[in-house]
Chains A and B, each alone.
Chain A
Amino acid sequence: MDFTVALAQIKPKLGCLADNLAIAEAAIEKGIAQGAQLIVFPELALTGYFLKDLVPDVALTLDAPEIERLKLLSRRISIAIGLVEVTPDYRFFNTALYLEDGEIRHVHRKVYLPTYGLFDEQRYLARGEHFRAFDSRFGRIGILICEDMWHLSAPYILAMDGATSIICLSSSPGRGLSDAEGLGSAGAWQRLTSTTAMFLNCRVFYCNRVGYEDGINFWGGSEVITPSGEVAVRGAILEEDFVLAKVDEGALRRERIFSPMMRDENMMLTVKELRRIERERG
């Protein structure tokens, strides 16, 4: 179906659940008012990113009242949003929820937790163990959180699982300034989102946050990428924004006819070769 997606390029406050929930609810109301049927938020939208020892203090169980409020709103608009989840065995996950028709339709726990350079996620968070696509009003969707997307296998698995849309929630720090027009990190992401869409003949909805935490900026530039890898719309760089895009079902159908790479993808060959590599590695 054709639909309108909103990318809420917000500036969360570090460790302030109530404030961030209010920011999210305002964006949701704005999305509804502007006719969006799906709204995507950044990674850790409800908490902020460089949480460090704050992780346990801002973690939510999936039956938390904050999530109940979002579930209620999801009767009016589908919502993808990032938060810290705590499980009954007290593991803390960098989680994205997909809420639709008043229910949690999907939980994705970030698999690839960057722990290098300025990142330290594995120190504080548990690693997710699945990449699974799921059905939604808008067809089959796969969710990735930031670093997940830098692992080629992640969107590949989702696409093989039938996803025709990939939602990526991100808190990407801006860095790598040169004499080029954009930031190094922004340019790398823009190549990645476009290439992923082209490889997998799927749409990409990329939502990245803005603001500063301890001097580290988040560069924004949220975007909707068509299944042919074109940028349909891109948000402001380094500023809050609310990006709206009409998503055309026909564009997906046509791209899958023109470039039927996913139809031709030989999953059994891939599995067979991966098994061989696994065997040979011992």
Chain B
Amino acid sequence: MGALSVNTTLLRKMLVGFVRDEVYKVGVKKGVLGLSGGIDSALVAFIAAEALGPENVYAYTMPYKTSNPESEAHAKLVADALGINYKVIEITPMVDAYFGLVPDADNMRRGNKMARERMTILYDHSAAVGGLVLGTSNKTELLLGYGTLHGDMASALNPIGDIYKSQVWALSEAMGVPHEVIEKKPSADLWAGQTDEQELGFSYRDADELLYRMVDQRMNREELIDAGFAADFIDNVQRKVQGSHFKRRLPVIAKVSNRTIDRDFRYARDWGK
């Protein structure tokens, strides 16, 4: 377990510095985020409040009619603890209007639509308040592809995209995220009683231990089996990482010219900043 444990004082300093630096250099002072009531967005709210000042952080909870009311209560708990700007915006009318047109859509389509509805609201509020959208996907879910492309995966900056769920838990403890939020079971809250771990079929702790060795340490399959991981678990996770890689890349562009964006037209996003 030692491999995943981190110096949270230093991690906090790096992530707070990241948000402050990358927001300010764009020429704005504010950050916007969706506060789901879960731990990832709670942690990002804590990081953003420390980086930008609570008065410059705008958090939105965007429940659908089937969302667990506890989620909204937990989001409010976080917003109150920090003193950030906070608003609840119901997405039921927009989402239901759309699914009135396509009533046969399954749970996955409905969940993705809700995630993308929330994204459009965040980007609209980003323009309204003059702030950047802060991402709340952690490294575990990004690697597993457990998120909606152009939905919850969309952001301008993501402070927690290189830390595993286990490290999110540790940093949340260190930064004082309310215990109710840290201790509850992670859930995308797409339907009643849903939990991430049930849907994934394994625990985040186990996935993190495996991903850390597979991705960060580049251990091969044989070494992972020697380290005690079951072959079918390794293969399952490997399949998820590879199968979701498209979600972590920009759309593929057909090359015809001498300088194609991102292929041989290469600039940092912080170009000139």
Point out residues on A near B: beta carbons under 8 Å.
Answer: 13-16, 50-54, 174, 177-183, 211-215, 217, 237-239
- CB-nearest residue of chain A to B162: A215
B268 within 8 A of A: yes
B6-45: CB near A (< 8 Å → 1, else 0) gives: 1100110110011001100100000000000000000000
Query: Which B residues touch A211, using CB under 8 A?
Result: 21
- CB contact under 8 A between A14 and B14, given known A53-B265, A177-B6, A181-B7: no
Tell me whether chain A's interface is mostly helix, strand or loop, or mixed: loop
Whether the pair B7, A14 counts as a contact (CB closer than 8 A) is no
Shortest B71–chain A CB gap in Å is 29
Query: Which A residues touch B13, using CB under 8 A?
Result: 237-238
Query: Which B residues touch A239, using CB under 8 A?
Result: 17
Query: Which A residues touch B269, using CB under 8 A?
Result: 214
Whether the pair B271, A15 counts as a contact (CB closer than 8 A) is yes
Whether the pair A213, B14 counts as a contact (CB closer than 8 A) is no
Query: Which A residues touch B14, using CB under 8 A?
Result: 174, 177, 217, 238
Interface size class, chain B: 20 to 34
- CB-nearest residue of chain A to B13: A238
Shortest A57–chain B CB gap in Å is 10
- CB-nearest residue of chain B to A181: B7
Whether the pair A238, B22 counts as a contact (CB closer than 8 A) is no
- CB contact under 8 A between A215 and B22, given known A15-B271, A54-B271: yes
B266 within 8 A of A: yes
7 extra A-B contacts, CB within 8 A, seeds A51-B268, A54-B271 = A52-B267, A54-B268, A174-B14, A178-B6, A215-B18, A237-B10, A239-B17
18 pairs across A/B with beta carbons < 8 Å?
Answer: A13-B25, A13-B272, A15-B271, A15-B272, A16-B272, A53-B265, A54-B268, A174-B14, A178-B5, A179-B6, A183-B10, A212-B21, A213-B270, A214-B268, A214-B269, A215-B157, A217-B18, A238-B17
Taking CB atoms and an 8 Å cut-off, the chain B residues in 256-273 that contact chain A are: 265-273
CA–CA, A14 and B272, complex, Å: 5
CA–CA, A183 and B13, complex, Å: 12
Query: Which B residues touch A183, using CB under 8 A?
Result: 10
Shortest B3–chain A CB gap in Å is 8
Shortest B11–chain A CB gap in Å is 6
Taking CB atoms and an 8 Å cut-off, the chain B residues in 216-273 that contact chain A are: 265-273
Query: Which A residues touch B6, using CB under 8 A?
Result: 177-179
CA–CA, A178 and B270, complex, Å: 27
CA–CA, A237 and B7, complex, Å: 14
**Partner among A14, A53, A181, A213 whose Cβ is within 8 Å of the Cβ of B266:** A53
Shortest A152–chain B CB gap in Å is 25
Whether the pair B18, A212 counts as a contact (CB closer than 8 A) is yes
- CB-nearest residue of chain A to B216: A176
B2 within 8 A of A: yes
- CB-nearest residue of chain A to B266: A52
Query: Which B residues touch A217, using CB under 8 A?
Result: 14, 17-18
Whether the pair B10, A182 counts as a contact (CB closer than 8 A) is yes
CA–CA, A215 and B160, complex, Å: 11
Whether the pair B268, A52 counts as a contact (CB closer than 8 A) is yes
- CB-nearest residue of chain B to A13: B273
Whether the pair A212, B22 counts as a contact (CB closer than 8 A) is yes
Whether the pair A179, B270 counts as a contact (CB closer than 8 A) is no
- CB-nearest residue of chain A to B19: A212
Sorted from nearest, which 6 A-B pairs have the closest CB atoms?
A: A52-B266, A179-B5, A212-B21, A50-B268, A214-B268, A53-B266
Whether the pair A212, B7 counts as a contact (CB closer than 8 A) is no
Shortest B24–chain A CB gap in Å is 10
- CB contact under 8 A between A14 and B17, given known A177-B10, A182-B10: no
Shortest B93–chain A CB gap in Å is 37
- CB contact under 8 A between A213 and B268, given known A179-B2, A179-B6, A182-B10: yes
Most buried by B among A54, A181, A213, A239: A213
Query: Which B residues touch A51, using CB under 8 A?
Result: 268
CA–CA, A227 and B7, complex, Å: 32
Whether the pair B271, A177 counts as a contact (CB closer than 8 A) is no
CA–CA, A52 and B18, complex, Å: 21
Shortest A117–chain B CB gap in Å is 11
Query: Which A residues touch B267, using CB under 8 A?
Result: 52-54
Query: Which B residues touch A13, using CB under 8 A?
Result: 25, 272-273
Shortest B262–chain A CB gap in Å is 11
Query: Which B residues touch A180, using CB under 8 A?
Result: 7
Query: Which B residues touch A50, using CB under 8 A?
Result: 268, 270
